Amino acid sequence: MKYFVTGGAGFIGSNLVDRLLLQGNDVTIYDNFSTGIPEYLENAKKNSGFTLIKGDLLDPDLLDEAISGCDFVFHLAANADVRFGTEHPAKDLHQNTIATFNVLEAMRKNSIDKIAFSSTGSVYGEAKVIPTPEHAPFPIQTSLYGASKLAGEGLIEAYCEGFGIQSWIFRFVSILGERYPHGHVFDFYKQLRIHPEKLDVLGNGHQKKSYLYIQDCLDAIYIAIQNSHEKVNIFNLGTNEYCEVNNSINWICEYLGLTPKIQYTGGERGWIGDNPFIFLDCSKIRSFGWKPKYSIKDGIIKTLEFLENNQWILERRI
Amino acid sequence: MKYFVTGGAGFIGSNLVDRLLLQGNDVTIYDNFSTGIPEYLENAKKNSGFTLIKGDLLDPDLLDEAISGCDFVFHLAANADVRFGTEHPAKDLHQNTIATFNVLEAMRKNSIDKIAFSSTGSVYGEAKVIPTPEHAPFPIQTSLYGASKLAGEGLIEAYCEGFGIQSWIFRFVSILGERYPHGHVFDFYKQLRIHPEKLDVLGNGHQKKSYLYIQDCLDAIYIAIQNSHEKVNIFNLGTNEYCEVNNSINWICEYLGLTPKIQYTGGERGWIGDNPFIFLDCSKIRSFGWKPKYSIKDGIIKTLEFLENNQWILERRI
């Protein structure tokens, strides 16, 4: 199989690429390196089945050419900066919605009929049903990021109906683990490296969060694609547990052997559009026998181990 | 109040504009006349509160200037050509999704904080719950049109959360009545004017359809805006009845005194993405005391009366 992975130099993308290559597949990655990290591809580059194309999804001509001959698309490239959405409202529209449209058009022109898409639990907005199943009540969007991913889902579904494409749409909780390059564990670790005596926390620390470890996430993606055969296959991916930001802070401080002064700022929530609680009902993917091998705490520890062993990533401007 | 109406030269838009002007409001319409009809504005043009701007929603500079000073936006402009979506996949993206983004950006820049949006029952895809309520299970899109309207809804909702805008989102069934310039009643009437002895019908005639008469629709929009005060207010608009395409054919033929030979083509459905049954649960808008004054049959007859009295519209290339 020849796979095409957009955002293949990113956190989830590069881990996926390594696994696909290990199994003997050919993999072309397409990444504009706006947030992709070249170092993540060091192993992949040694593999003869690997092709790297530096390109932007907003360049449809290059995309059409790059995707040619591939069998299956993992569309993972996105603006994943949920937090600052309101500072640049066009970014989610261009990099998520229009970019997804361009991927679908390139697939159509090249007769590629299978796509897996990284959506988000944020599409549920402030869910009325928690844990939230895939068939939750029609949600109201609360972030430009969620809205742009919802738009991407809708486009993919319409292409499935209109052009005979098959899709797997994954609504993730936050993913953690090796190569995790942003988010609160990264921020807290970086802060504590600079000033071990204090930690600034946005919100009141009681925000509930659910996380999934990257390798568990990839296992779930594989199992979903192997076992679900509808035209459109939608899966929540998360764990059956959740934590508060305060739990996470305790685990991080315990791991680092620090007792910083915690300063909470910004009221109950972290930022506008920050959902106070994303917790997904994952019984659909669990019905295929999948369950996470690692707890949220395990995932956080593994992330910290990665950061400890890769201090260079703290210095990068992401 | 000064209203800004995108698509104000269209079927629903021009009827709304007449009503807003009649009540003494100022109204600026913004229309690119790609499907808007200048003749629909003949009455409006006589009113001193009326301003017409010929412009495209994909021209953000002109839009920013035109919208300045308005208090309330009715965003009705759209590519409403559901049927041929797969022949030009970019059209819905540009004219519905990106256009809606441009309207929201223009509102934000001009500190306008109220918007009403014409969405569609098509966003429910092939609904699992019929009649379909606003909080139906998270739908899967089956048309590029539905997907583009879903994307528009999501953008509006995210702007409400992020920028303090208030919105009223209306998911319409098909609307009928004076100035109705496309759709099956229009097509059938036009065919029968040309060849009264036969009628070509796409699908098997058993497609179930729900329609609402334009003036009932406008009543509902007014009542919803006056009575609902959430950040995001979503309403289904339709009647409590439905008909088959065959019923509609009978009413049309009876009205015209014709007995054409009916030729069904194209299998069970009309076209790819044609939902076999959109039937909306409108108990939310009914809870405010609204109910339609006209039946589906009444709406079809009123449409035919309009077409009989405005033969010029049949000759237009729409």
What is the distance between the terminal CA atoms of chain A, rounded to a whole angstrom?
A: 32
Q: Which residue of B has its CA nearest to A157?
A: B141
Domain co-membership, A123 together with A256: no
Q: Is residue B200 situated within a structural domain?
A: yes
Q: Is residue B52 situated within a structural domain?
A: yes
The contacts of residue A43 (CB under 8 Å, 6+ apart) are A18
Q: Categorize the per-residue pLDDT at B317 as very low, low, confident or very high, splitting at 50, 70 and 90.
A: low
The tens digit of pLDDT for each residue in A6-61 reads 999 999 999 999 999 999 999 999 999 999 999 999 999 999 999 999 999 999 99
Name the residue among B137, B151, B273 with its Cβ closest to that of A151: B151
The tens digit of pLDDT for each residue in A232-289 reads 999 999 999 999 999 999 999 999 999 999 999 876 665 555 566 789 999 999 999 9
The residue segments making up the domain with residue A35 are 2-175+211-237
Q: Which of A109, A234, A20 is nearest to A5 (CA)?
A: A20
Q: Which contiguous run of DSSP H or E holds residue A100?
A: helix A99-109
Closest Cα in chain A, distance from residue B26 (Å)? 30
Q: Which of B175, B171, B96, B174 is nearest to B135 (CA)?
A: B171
Share of chain A above pLDDT 90, in %: 87
- C-alpha R_g of chain A: 19
Q: Which of B10, B46, B39, B43 is nearest to B29 (CA)?
A: B10
Q: Pairing between strand B208-209 and B243-244?
A: antiparallel
The alpha carbon of residue B118 and the mean position of all alpha carbons in its chain are separated, in whole angstroms, by 6
Domain co-membership, A190 together with A71: no
Domain co-membership, B115 together with B253: no
Q: How many CB atoms lie within 10 A of CB A314?
A: 14
pLDDT at A272: 54
Q: Is residue B26 situated within a structural domain?
A: yes
The rounded distance, in Å, linking the Cα atoms of B56 and B64 is 11
Closest Cα in chain A, distance from residue B197 (Å)? 34
pLDDT at A309: 95
Copy the structure tokens of residue B274: 């044609």
Tell me the Ramachandran region of residue A100: left when phi exceeds 0, alpha when psi lies from -120 to 50, beta otherwise.
alpha
| Strand, helix or coil for residue A114 | strand
Name the residue among B135, B143, B161 with its Cβ closest to that of A137: B135
Domain co-membership, B58 together with B200: no
Share of chain B above pLDDT 90, in %: 87
Please state which of the ranges A26-40, B75-89, B136-150, B178-192 shows the lowest mean pLDDT.
B75-89
Q: Pairing between strand A208-209 and A243-244?
A: antiparallel
Name the residue among A105, A234, A272 with its Cβ closest to that of B162: A272
| Residue A5 predicted with pLDDT over 90 | yes
pLDDT at B191: 95
Contact of A131 with chain B, judged by CB distance below 8 Å, is answered with no
Contact B135 A138 (CB under 8 A): yes
Contact of A22 with chain B, judged by CB distance below 8 Å, is answered with no
Q: Calculate the CA dihedral of residues B213, B215, B217, B222 and round it to 10 degrees.
A: -170
The alpha carbon of residue A195 and the mean position of all alpha carbons in its chain are separated, in whole angstroms, by 29
- What's the domain count of chain B? 2
| Residue A71 predicted with pLDDT over 90 | yes
Contact A157 B142 (CB under 8 A): yes
- Domain with residue A162: its CATH number is 3.40.50.720
B7-37 burial string, b = 16+ CB within 10 Å, else e? bbbbbbbbbbbbbbbeeebbbbbbbbeebbb
Q: What letter represents residue A79's amino acid?
A: N
| Residue A182 predicted with pLDDT over 80 | yes
Q: Which residue of A has its CA nearest to B233?
A: A140
The rounded distance, in Å, linking the Cα atoms of A128 and A279 is 11
Q: Is residue A286 situated within a structural domain?
A: no
Q: How many CB atoms lie within 10 A of CB A87?
A: 10
Interface probe for B, chosen from A101, A123, A145 (most Cβ of B below 10 Å), is A101
Copy the structure tokens of residue B278: 């959109």
Domain co-membership, B144 together with B14: yes
Q: Angle CA(A231)–CA(A236)–CA(A241) in degrees, nearest 5?
A: 165
- Sign of dihedral through CA atoms B62, B64, B69, B74? positive
Domain co-membership, B114 together with B81: yes
Domain co-membership, B171 together with B183: no
Q: Is residue A44 situated within a structural domain?
A: yes
Contact of B142 with chain A, judged by CB distance below 8 Å, is answered with yes
Contact A93 B101 (CB under 8 A): yes
Q: Categorize the per-residue pLDDT at A81 as very low, low, confident or very high, splitting at 50, 70 and 90.
A: confident
Which one of the listed residues A3, A30, A40, A145 is annotated catalytic?
A145
What is the distance between the terminal CA atoms of chain B, rounded to a whole angstrom?
A: 32
> So which residues of B are the catalytic ones?
145
| Residue B164 predicted with pLDDT over 80 | yes
Q: Angle CA(B166)–CA(B169)–CA(B172) in degrees, nearest 5?
A: 165
Q: Could you please report the per-residue DSSP string of B80-104?
A: ---TTGGGSHHHHIIIIIIHHHHHH
The rounded distance, in Å, linking the Cα atoms of B93 and B262 is 36
The alpha carbon of residue B280 and the mean position of all alpha carbons in its chain are separated, in whole angstroms, by 15
Q: Which of B171, B172, B182 is nearest to B84 (CA)?
A: B182
Q: Is residue B167 situated within a structural domain?
A: yes
DSSP A68: T
Task: List CB contacts (< 8 A) between B120 and chain A.
Answer: none
Domain co-membership, B36 together with B113: yes
Q: Which of B15, B178, B168 is nearest to B29 (CA)?
A: B15
Reported ipTM exceeds the 0.85 cut? yes
Q: Categorize the per-residue pLDDT at B275 as very low, low, confident or very high, splitting at 50, 70 and 90.
A: low
The tens digit of pLDDT for each residue in B3-25 reads 999 999 999 999 999 999 999 99
The contacts of residue A280 (CB under 8 Å, 6+ apart) are A121, A124, A131, A132, A133, A171, A173, A210, A236, A237, A238
Interface probe for A, chosen from B161, B169, B231, B235 (most Cβ of A below 10 Å), is B161
Contact A136 B140 (CB under 8 A): no
Contact B158 A146 (CB under 8 A): yes
Task: List CB contacts (< 8 A) between B85 and chain A.
Answer: 158, 162
pTM (2 decimals)?
0.95
Q: Could you please report the per-residue DSSP string of B279-307?
A: -B--HHHHTTT---SS-HHHHHHHHHHHH
Q: Which residue of A has its CA nearest to B138?
A: A138
Q: Which residue of B has its CA nearest to A233?
A: B140
The tens digit of pLDDT for each residue in B206-256 reads 888 899 999 999 999 999 999 999 999 999 999 999 999 999 999 999 999
| Strand, helix or coil for residue A33 | coil
Asked if A298 contacts A213 with a C-beta cutoff of 8 angstroms, the reply is yes
pLDDT at A270: 59
The rounded distance, in Å, linking the Cα atoms of A149 and A165 is 18
Contact of B151 with chain A, judged by CB distance below 8 Å, is answered with yes
Contact A155 B142 (CB under 8 A): no
- Domain with residue B198: its CATH number is 3.90.25.10
Closest Cα in chain B, distance from residue A237 (Å)? 16
Q: Is residue B287 situated within a structural domain?
A: no
Contact of B154 with chain A, judged by CB distance below 8 Å, is answered with yes
The rounded distance, in Å, linking the Cα atoms of A162 and B145 is 11
| Residue A83 predicted with pLDDT over 90 | no
Q: Categorize the per-residue pLDDT at B165 as very low, low, confident or very high, splitting at 50, 70 and 90.
A: very high
The tens digit of pLDDT for each residue in B83-118 reads 767 788 999 999 999 999 999 999 999 999 999 999
Asked if B94 contacts B25 with a C-beta cutoff of 8 angstroms, the reply is no
Q: How many CB atoms lie within 10 A of CB B161?
A: 23
Asked if A212 contacts A238 with a C-beta cutoff of 8 angstroms, the reply is yes
Tell me the Ramachandran region of residue A273: left when phi exceeds 0, alpha when psi lies from -120 to 50, beta otherwise.
left
- C-alpha R_g of chain B: 19
The rounded distance, in Å, linking the Cα atoms of B243 and B231 is 35
Q: Which of B55, B62, B68 is nearest to B7 (CA)?
A: B55
pLDDT at A223: 98
Domain co-membership, A13 together with A88: yes
Contact B162 A97 (CB under 8 A): no
Q: Which CB contacts under 8 angstroms, 24+ apart, belong to B17-25?
A: B17/B41, B17/B44, B17/B50, B18/B43, B18/B44, B19/B218, B21/B47, B21/B49, B21/B50, B24/B49, B25/B1, B25/B49
Domain co-membership, B26 together with B151: yes
Q: Which residue of A has its CA nearest to B167?
A: A140
Q: Categorize the per-residue pLDDT at A106 as very low, low, confident or very high, splitting at 50, 70 and 90.
A: very high
Domain co-membership, B64 together with B189: no
Contact A86 B154 (CB under 8 A): no
Domain co-membership, A111 together with A35: yes
pLDDT at A228: 98
The rounded distance, in Å, linking the Cα atoms of B31 and B11 is 12
Q: Which contiguous run of DSSP H or E holds residue A188?
A: helix A184-194
pLDDT at B268: 62
Q: Is residue A47 situated within a structural domain?
A: yes
